[in-house]
Every structure is written in C-alpha cells, then in structure tokens.
Amino acid sequence: MAPIVYYLVGPPGSGKRTIGKQLARLTGAALLDNHLSNDPVFTAFGLDGQKPVPAEVWTLVKRVRAVVLEAALAAPRDVSHIFTNYLTNEEREWQFVQSLRGLASARGAAFVPVWLSCDTDELARRMTLPERAERLKLRDPVGLRELLEKAGTLPPPPDAIRIDTSTLAPADAALLIATHAGALF
C-alpha cells in the first residue's frame, strides 16, 4: 500500500491529537502532532498553556518543524504520517498545507487533508480538561474565544474531509478518515 500523509487541521480543542492517536492505531501511521514541535520550545520558555506565547517562540518552533519535515521526507517509503495543526484564517497559513502536499508528492504518498470543526462552547469546555496540560496545550477558555474571534480558522481546501467533532467520538472520526482514505487493512 502506498504511504499516506494525513493532515488534521482544526481549532484548539477540536481533537486533532486524540483523533490522530486513534488514526495511528487504525493505520499504523506515525503521529507527528504539532506539540511534538511546540513543546520543547514552550518548555524552554516556561510556557504552560495559559501564559501568552511570545512571538520569538514561533521562530524557534518553525525550525523544529523543519527538522521533523526533513525526517518525514527521509523516512522509509512504507511509513505513513499524521500531522496536526491549527491554522488561522490568514493567507500565509496556506504555506503549511502546500508544504505537506509537497512532502506527500515527494514521497509518492497520498495527501489526505482533514478539517475538524467543533462548536465554540464545546471547545471552551474542553480547554479545562486536565489532559490538555500534559502537552502544554491552550487551556484558557477566554483566550480561546479571543483567538477564534480574532484569527479564525483557515477554510478547508476543496479536497478536505470535513468532520464536526462536537459530539463525534474520536475513534469514530478516525474510522471515517481511514475509511475515506482507503487505509484500512
């Protein structure tokens, strides 16, 4: 089977990592959650998911992400990958989508973009869940609302799978993605 590059995009709390873990179990794909790149830098800066993130943090995170992408490109041909991210509704954010499309193309892999959405009240409720602290994720419901109001979420490309995670169990969302991608064995 040809490798697949999955790209799970959605606002904080939409279930990207949780669904990614389920998808990894179903397909054997390697999960490269955005916090894999973020957390070493967040930790070095003493961030905790509630403090504001200084702008210079993102410059360093970008360098870590570049190494992760380089490793994914060099990975054995039979390895599929799952990437996760929150992309704001800014034109420059399309570079991430194009970067992963390019990675998939260079590896001879299928590219499966997945856009997750979730009711804002449900997202705010999820901000307070204790498991969010373990990966230095955003945990401020007010900050989440401000972020979504100010920055929004990048609209999905035409080929994206769209999933509302407001009430859908992560395992069911992962099954939808794997089935759509034809990745179940």
Provide the 10 A C-beta neighbour count for residue 137. Answer: 21
pLDDT at residue 62, rounded to an integer: 93
Helices 94-107 & 55-74 angle (0-180, nearest 10): 10
Q: How far apart are CA 138 and CA 17, in angstroms?
A: 13
pLDDT at residue 95, rounded to an integer: 95
10-residue mean pLDDT profile of the chain (185 residues): values are 94 97 97 92 87 90 95 96 97 96 97 98 94 84 95 96 97 96 68
Spatial CA neighbour of 34 closest among 56, 54, 14 = 14
Instruction: Quote the strand ranges of 34-92, DSSP E.
Output: 81-85
Q: How far apart are CA 162 and CA 177, in angstroms?
A: 9
pLDDT at residue 73, rounded to an integer: 97
- Which option is the CATH number for 4-181: 3.40.50.300, 3.40.718.10, 3.40.190.100, 3.10.129.10? 3.40.50.300
Q: How far apart are CA 133 and CA 48, in angstroms?
A: 7
Instruction: Quote the strand ranges of the chain, DSSP E.
Output: 4-9, 30-32, 81-85, 110-117, 161-164
pLDDT at residue 25, rounded to an integer: 97
Q: Is 102 exposed, middle or buried (0-12, 13-18, 19+ CB in 10 A)?
A: middle
pLDDT at residue 133, rounded to an integer: 80
Q: How far apart are CA 19 and CA 54, in angstroms?
A: 28
Q: How far apart are CA 171 and CA 158, in angstroms?
A: 24
pLDDT at residue 185, rounded to an integer: 46
pTM comes to 0.94
Q: Which residues contact 110 (CB under 8 A, 6 or more apart)?
A: 2, 3, 4, 5, 104, 181
Provide the 10 A C-beta neighbour count for residue 5. Answer: 24
Q: What is the DSSP letter of 36?
A: H
